[in-house]
Structure formats: C-alpha cells, structure tokens
Structure 1
Amino acid sequence: MRFFTGGYTADMGGEATGVGMLHAGGADTAFVDGALGFGGEVVAADSPSWLAAHPTRDVIYAALEKTGAVQAYTRTGESTLAPLGDPVPAGDATCHVAVAPDGRELLASCWGDGGVVRMTIDSEGRVSDPRRAPAASDPYGAEPDLDAIRAHVLGASADEVGETPASRPSRAHQARYLPDGTVVTTDLGLDLVRVWRPVAGRLRAHQQVVLPRGSGPRHAVWHPSGHLYVVTEFSCEVFVLAPDPTGAWRILGGVPLGAMPGDTGAEIALGRDGAFLYAGLRGSDTMAVLRVRGGGDAIEPAALVETGVVWPRNHVVVRDTLLVEGERSHEVVAATLDPRTGVPGRIRHRTTVPSPTHLLPVH
C-alpha cells in the first residue's frame, strides 16, 4: 500500500521538501503487510501539512500552511504529481483541507486567523472562488484580538503579544463533511464545534456546540452510529457529540486521555470495526486507546501505550495496523492492533520520513 505524506519544509522549520511517498508492503494491496520505505519527494511544495483527495479524479489538494493557500495537484504517474493551477489564498496558517463527497467544493481551515473558507472545484479538479464563512465569536464573552493573531502567526509568543483570556483568538482547525450533508468545523481557540448547512453554494451557520473553556477542540471523527468524537488539544480529552431527535447537537459525555503535564492532543482515528478510538498525545508521545460502548454514545479508556516516535502528529488505522508519524523524530512506524483489546503491539516496522505531518492513502 502507498501513502502520500504531508510535511513541514524549511519555511516552517522542517526537513521535508514537499509531498512525499510512503511504501507500506506491496503497492497493489489494501493491507499494510510489509516493511515501510520512504520513496522521497513526488512534488516540491512549501509545507503541505495536510492532504485531501478528490473522490473521483486523480487529484489531491494540499494545505500550504505557511503560505496560507490551497494547491491542487494532478497525478502524472504512479509516484509523481504536478501542480494543477496556481495556489489559491485561503487565510493565515491554512492547516487543513476537506473535500466534499461530490467533489464540487472543498473547505480550508485556517489556524492563524480562524477562517473557514469554501472553494469551488471545477470538472478538472482545479480550485477557485474562495469565500469566507461567517467568523466565530467567543462564547465565553471575548472577541478575537486580530493584532494578537497576526503577531502570533509571525512568530511572537503569547506573552509578547499580550494574548490573555480576554483576547482569545479564533483558530479553525478542521472541517468534516457528514453523511447527511451537514458540515462540522472545530475552533480550538474558542472551544467550539460549529455545525453548518450548505445552502446555495455557501455555508449557513446552524448551531455551535460549546466545549469547556480552554479545552481546545482540534479534530473530530465520525462514527457509523451517528456520533461525533472530538479530541481536544489543550485539555487532552475526547468528547462525544450527537444530534438529539429535534436535530440540536449536544455533548453526551467525555473522557480524559491520561495525559501527562505539558501534553497536547493531536489526531483521533477510528478503528477498523468502530469498536475502538485512537488519540495521540504529543509530549509524553503516547497513544490513548478508547473503547466504544453502547450504541456509540459512550466511550471509556482501554489503554495508554508508547508510540515509539517523538511528537506523534498524525496516525491512521489500516485494517489491523496502526501507522504513526513522528514529526520531530522524522519517521513513520507500524504496529499491529490486537483485534480483541484494540491495543497496538510492538513496532514491527519503521522508516525515516522528514518532518511528517499527514498520511493520505493512494487510491
């Protein structure tokens, strides 16, 4: 199996040079059934930190985080990509892209200025016409401090820019299309999960779910039961969200991940059969395993294990294998998951990958 790798390049202090290619066993199998190997760069790019695939065309999209833009690439060979059009500006620190199931639009999330930006995708896969969705406001009473946001993006610390609880910036971090057409986005700066309804080519705000102050909702994963699981960056928890019979979204519960002081939550992924969740912790460099209970409305801690990498930024589950990227140890590792307990076993394979931040399966 093969994966495109996103990563940080020199403009963000990383060692990658663009989008790369990871080989995991045989190229033509859906299993991660052999040794890992890094095939090198497939196209040069500046910090393509998140990647997304078009559902029907041989096109992928990259969030160029430092540039603050989205770039489309077309497949030109088994292991090569070429730019498809020019980069389309999105906003400060564009960190995530999500493509609609029908392939007609994508959403870019901008960590630096809180922007959620919709872009049109044409019949060839090119992106254009960026339109910014309505901005978030702080549910705890403070408005975003734009001067603090700009200074932070330029590299100043919170103390230097005077960022305080009274001037919390909006920080959009992920968008996800749900099966019924609803869109959910996370804002880790304002502790929000925002619920949207696409209407006439635009996003219409439907509801916002407020998480505990300072929790920092980062990424979410959808469960077939109809529940949304949200991992928080700052409080290192996973919350369970779902709509009630009236369509109003609610928090059903949450569990801590067993973080150590100084940890930050990273990625969350669903196991093969939906029975387990996997949430990464940067700092202690561990992986929390959570068991899904009932009809998906409850979760409980099952294990906390070492990842074997430094700064586990992103991870994916492929059948019975967990792949984890170590951003600061410059590697990807693979471990087999126990089908009964869900717990990863010892690391079976590892390979060097420069400053990896995302894995995208090649289909």
Structure 2
Amino acid sequence: MTRFWVGGYGPAMEGSADGIGLLAGDAHSATALAYRGAVAQAPSPSWLAPHPRLDVVYAALEGDAAVQAFVRTGESALTPLGERVPVGEYVCHLAVAPSGQYLIASCYGDGKVVRIGLDADGRPVPDAVDKAAALRAALFGDAGSAPRTGVGSAASDPYGTPVGADPRASHAHAAAFLPDGRVATTDLGFDLVRFWRPGVTGLIVDHEVVLPQGTGPRHMVVHPSGHLHIVTEYSCEVFTLAAGPDGRWVIVSAILASPAAEVGTDFPAELARSRDGHVLYTALRGSNTIAALRVHGAGDRLESIALADSGVDWPRHHLVFEGKLLVAGQRSDTVALLDLDERTGVPLGIRHTAQAPAPTHILPVR
C-alpha cells in the first residue's frame, strides 16, 4: 500500500484540516487512493519535512509560529516528539540537513531564517548545548559551547525604498541544502536568494544573488547537474543559477513558466523535478494548471513543453512519485493524481481525485 502524510490548513488559516492526515491506497489504481483521516492533531501543519534517517517528521505550524516534531509509533500513527519550538511568524517551509543534525525554518511573516538543532533521536533542541562542542570548548577553548540554534541575519531590501513609498517586507520562503554544505534560501519579499554557511551558533551569510525587482522567488530545486532552479511567485518565471569558480552563484538563464502564464493572475507555488531531472514541474495557482519544462544542455537551459489541467483548485504543492504527479488543491479540498508520459514527462491527464481537507503539502511515508 502506498501512503502519504498530508499537511493542511486548519480553521485559523481558513482551512478545514485538523492535523496531519493520511492518504493511502494504490497510486497506480484509478480509484484506490483515499484520505484516511488525521493521524496527529496539529494546528495548520502546512509543511512537512522528513528526517533523513529516522522515522521522524517535522511540521511547520504556520499559524502558531512554531515547529513540532512527530515520531511514527505505528503503521499509520504519529506522536509528538519533544515540545513545540517557537520560530517566526507564518513559518511556511522546513528543510532538514542531510546530516540530520539541524533543520532550517523559513518564516514568511517576519522574514526569519531559523536553524534548529536536532538530537540523536531527532528531537528539536533549541536551548540545549551541543555536548561535543562544549567538550571541545573546555579542552581547547574554542567557541563551540554556544546553543545549537540560531537566526540568520536579517535581510535588507537591495532596491531600497523610494521616497514617499512604504518599505517592502522580508518574506523568507524556502531553504535548500547544496552539495558543498552551504544553504540557499529565498526571500520572496526582497527578491533575494541568500547563500549561507552553517556556523556553530547559527547561519552566516556567505553572499546574496539579487533577482529582478518584483519577481518574488519562492521555491527551489537543486538539479543533479549542480544548477539551482528557482520559481518566482510574482513574475511566473523559473530562474537558473550556477556556482562560479569562486563559489559565488550567478543567474545564467530565466524563462516564463509557460507562455500561457498570466502575470498578476497566475501565482506559481511548488517546483519539482522528474527523477532523472530532465523535466521540471510548477503549478500555477489562478489558472490551476501544471507547467512542464524540459531541462537542456548542462542543466542551465529550460524549455516550456506543456501546460495541463492540475485537476484541483489552487494547487499549492505537488510531487513526482513513481512516474505520476500528485497535486494538493488547497481550495478544492482535494488531491489529484496525474499520469505522466514515460518518455517525455508531459502530463497526460487526471487519473484520480481524492478528498482531503485544505491540503498544502504531501509527503511520502517511507
């Protein structure tokens, strides 16, 4: 049986979800996937992130400005692991380091980028002292005894504020771990992609890449080629960044998510890739479509190849799973399963639609 944890918006976020839900069945059947109810009570767990090794899932409690860990205690049961950890306003994205030693929380409301330490059991330890670092400090006098948590330095608007205009607000939206150990984060409000080096007490800004004003960088995909693809919510584009010999990232290309995308009407949400990395998919909230883009060259060039019905209203999140595309429809209270062409990756049509309360994120159960 195929199973997925489903995050969603609760009443405080104008949704009907009452916690982390379970979607289960046969993803290859036309009708078998079904919502099985909430398996863990949580207020608006809008984004879910897995631990890389442990059977632990982390939820961004968006309306409560907190992160909660859950451990799987049964075939389809989740139990809170440790206490909630306060982060920032409208925390909307979580990413766990490949080492499993910490996670990054991105907060849309106040622009905070927060690192939270994780212990050996996957439990968040925001106020704990890293014992190994403390021992090093005692023996060698280094600075390793600081708490294993930290807030990245505040972003500033690279475009400034025109005289007489209201200042723009910082809106951190996503984080991605890069092969060299650094972390990339997007700031949708300031049109920034920020690159960080993990430090003992938090994150240290390495450098920033400024996107054109008003683009609104939202989510990212680290491509197997080493390129970083970023979808923009306001300008409906996908930007491709590459690292230079000096380690600094630069923009190498940009393309509309689809020639049919309407700026100001369509608002791209998630960006996902096929398993081989040959195709990228983004969802356009507004027209409620899925745009497919072919990756060419060394991963630095994109081509729009298809636009298809998403099968839902307000497609907030989607993922490629075993050659199919699952799409979470926040406003339609549904999850759609789309067939993909095995050769081209183009969406072929809607195989099945399942009911689910205000879904905002879908995570395969390992």
Q: Distance in 2 between matches of 1:165 and 1:126?
A: 44
Give the deviation of 1:165 after TM superposition: 5.6
Give the deviation of 1:64 after TM superposition: 0.2
SS for the counterpart of 2:275 is coil
Give the deviation of 1:10 after TM superposition: 0.8
Is 1:181 the equivalent of 2:181? yes
Is 1:48 the equivalent of 2:45? yes
Counterpart position of 2:238: 238
Q: Which of 114, 117, 128 is equivalent to 1:117?
A: 114
* Pairing of 1:213-252 with structure 2 (within 5 A): 213-252=213-252
Q: Distance in 2 between matches of 1:54 and 1:248?
A: 29
Counterpart position of 1:91: 88
Cα pair 2:150 2:203 within 8 Å, conserved: no
Residue type at the aligned position of 1:88: V
5+ long unaligned stretches in structure 2: 127-148
Counterpart position of 1:334: 337
Counterpart position of 1:7: 8
Q: Distance in 2 between matches of 1:165 and 1:300?
A: 37
Is 1:142 the equivalent of 2:182? no
Counterpart position of 1:205: 205
Q: Distance in 1 between matches of 2:51 and 2:202?
A: 20
The alignment of Structure 1 onto Structure 2 pairs a total of residues equal to 337
Q: Deviations 1:184-221 (Å, cap 9, x if unpaired)?
A: 00000000000011133421111101011010000000
Q: Distance in 2 between matches of 1:225 and 1:16?
A: 38
Give the deviation of 1:346 after TM superposition: 1.5
Q: Deviations 1:21-78 (Å, cap 9, x if unpaired)?
A: 11141xxxxxx32221111100010000000111111111000000000001111101
Is 1:302 the equivalent of 2:305? yes
Q: Distance in 2 between matches of 1:216 and 1:297?
A: 20
Q: Distance in 2 between matches of 1:341 and 1:85?
A: 45
Give the deviation of 1:128 after TM superposition: 2.4
SS for the counterpart of 2:36 is strand
Residue type at the aligned position of 1:136: A
SS for the counterpart of 2:189 is coil
SS for the counterpart of 2:331 is coil
Give the deviation of 1:339 after TM superposition: 2.2
Q: Distance in 1 between matches of 2:195 and 2:229?
A: 14
Give the deviation of 1:166 after TM superposition: 4.0
Q: Distance in 2 between matches of 1:283 and 1:214?
A: 18
* Pairing of 1:64-103 with structure 2 (within 5 A): 64-103=61-100
Q: Distance in 1 between matches of 2:274 and 2:328?
A: 17
Q: Which of 347, 351, 355 is equivalent to 1:352?
A: 355
* Pairing of 1:20-59 with structure 2 (within 5 A): 20-25=21-26, 32-34=27-29, 35-59=32-56
Give the deviation of 1:320 after TM superposition: 1.1
Counterpart position of 1:150: none
* Pairing of 1:277-316 with structure 2 (within 5 A): 277-316=280-319
Q: Deviations 1:203-242 (Å, cap 9, x if unpaired)?
A: 1111101011010000000100000000001111100001
Identity %: 54
Whose Rg is larger?
2
TM-score normalised according to structure 1 size: 0.91
SS for the counterpart of 1:167 is coil
Residue type at the aligned position of 1:192: L
SS for the counterpart of 2:54 is coil
Give the deviation of 1:142 after TM superposition: 3.4
Q: Which of 104, 121, 125 is equivalent to 1:107?
A: 104
Residue type at the aligned position of 2:62: E
Counterpart position of 1:317: 320
Q: Distance in 2 between matches of 1:280 and 1:165?
A: 32
SS for the counterpart of 1:66 is helix
SS for the counterpart of 1:189 is coil
Residue type at the aligned position of 1:223: H
Residue type at the aligned position of 2:28: D
Give the deviation of 1:178 after TM superposition: 1.5
